[in-house]
């Protein structure tokens, strides 16, 4: 199994979230929030790394889809 297959790195329940939105939803936003405890704030760091590793070049290819299909059986 390839560690560079974005499909296999997905938190699978999240890919169905769009099905829970009300009909005609046009805009959705996300945010980070500290849930308390030791830290009262959140610092997002490393976006450039994520973009370069996962979102540059061909992201989803037929080869990657076939790899996922093999994992399902």
Residues 28-37: tens digit of each pLDDT: 888 777 777 8
Give the model's pLDDT for residue 38: 84
Q: Is residue 37 part of a domain?
A: yes
Mean pLDDT of 53-66: 91
Mean pLDDT of the chain: 84
Task: Answer whether residue 35 is part of any domain.
Answer: yes
Number of domains in the chain: 1
**Residue 18 belongs to some domain of the structure:** no
Query: Is the separation of the CB atoms in 7 and 71 below 8 Å?
Result: no
Percent residues over pLDDT 70 in the chain: 96
Residue span of the structural domain in which 44 resides: 25-72
**Residue 13: inside a domain:** no
Give how far Cα 66 sits from Cα of 30, 52, 59, Å: 31, 23, 14
């Amino acid at each position: 199994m390839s560690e560079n297959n974005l499909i296999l790195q997905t938190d699978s329940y999240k890919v169905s979230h769009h099905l829970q939105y009300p009909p005609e939803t046009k805009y959705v936003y996300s945010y980070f929030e500290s849930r308390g405890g030791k830290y009262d704030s959140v610092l997002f760091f490393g976006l450039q790394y994520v973009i370069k590793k996962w979102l540059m070049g061909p992201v989803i290819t037929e080869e990657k889809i076939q790899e996922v299909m093999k994992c399902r059986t």
